[in-house]
Amino acid sequence: MALDSMRGMMDRARAGGYAVGYFEAWDSYSLEAVLEAAEAEQAPVILGFGCMMADGAWLDAGGVEMLAGLGLPLAHRARVPVALLLNEAHTLEQARRGLDAGFNAVMMDRSAWAWDRAVREIAELVAYARTRGASVEAELGRLPDAVAEGIDDSAAALTDPEQAAEFAHLTGIDCLAVSVGNVHLLTSGYAPVDLDHLEAIHRRVGLPLVMHGGTSFPPQAVPRALAGGVAKFNVGTILKKRFLDAIRGRVAVWPAGVDPHQVLGSHKDTDLLNTGKTAMAAEVRRLIKLYGGSGKA
Ligand code: 13P
CA-nearest of 114, 123, 196 to 158 is 196
> Which DSSP helix (H) or strand (E) runs through 233?
strand 230-235
What digits encode the pLDDT tens for the residues 173-194? 999 999 999 999 998 999 999 9
What tens digit of pLDDT does each residue of 42-94 get? 999 999 999 999 999 999 999 999 999 999 999 999 999 999 999 999 999 99
Q: Is 235 in the pocket of ligand 1 (CB under 6 A)?
A: yes
- Residue at 157 is within a domain: yes
The average pLDDT across 259-265 equals 93
pLDDT bin (cut points 50, 70, 90) of residue 145 is confident
**Whether the Cβ atoms of residue 151 and residue 191 lie closer than 8 Å to each other:** yes
Is 62 a domain residue? yes
Structural domain contains residue 270: no
What range does the domain containing 43 cover?
6-245+281-291
Residue 259 forms part of a structural domain: no
52 CA distance to ligand 1 centroid (A)? 10
What lies within 8 Å, CB to CB, of 37 at 6+ separation is: 23, 45, 280, 281, 282, 284, 285, 288
Split into its structural domains, the chain has a count of 1
Percentage of the chain surpassing pLDDT 90?
89
Please check whether residue 65 lies inside any domain of the structure: yes
Banded pLDDT at 168 (limits 50, 70, 90): very high
Q: Which pLDDT does position 111 carry in this prediction?
A: 76
Q: Are 178 and 164 in contact (CB under 8 A)?
A: yes
Residue owning the nearest CA to atom 9 of ligand 1? 234
| E runs forming strands in 76-214 | 82-89, 105-108, 135-140, 145-147, 150-152, 175-178, 209-211
Nearest CA to ligand 1 atom 8: 212
Inform me whether the pLDDT recorded for 153 exceeds 90.
no
Asked if residue 258 is part of any domain, the answer here is no
Q: How many CA atoms lie within 13 A of 254 on its CB side?
A: 13
Expressed in angstroms and rounded, the spacing between residue 213 Cα and the centre of ligand 1 is 4
| Residue 163 within a domain | yes
Q: Is 21 in the pocket of ligand 1 (CB under 6 A)?
A: no
Does an H or E element contain 221, and which?
Answer: none
CA gap 231, 147 in Å, rounded: 28
In a domain? residue 52 = yes
179 lines ligand 1 (CB under 6 A): no
CATH number at 227 reads 3.20.20.70
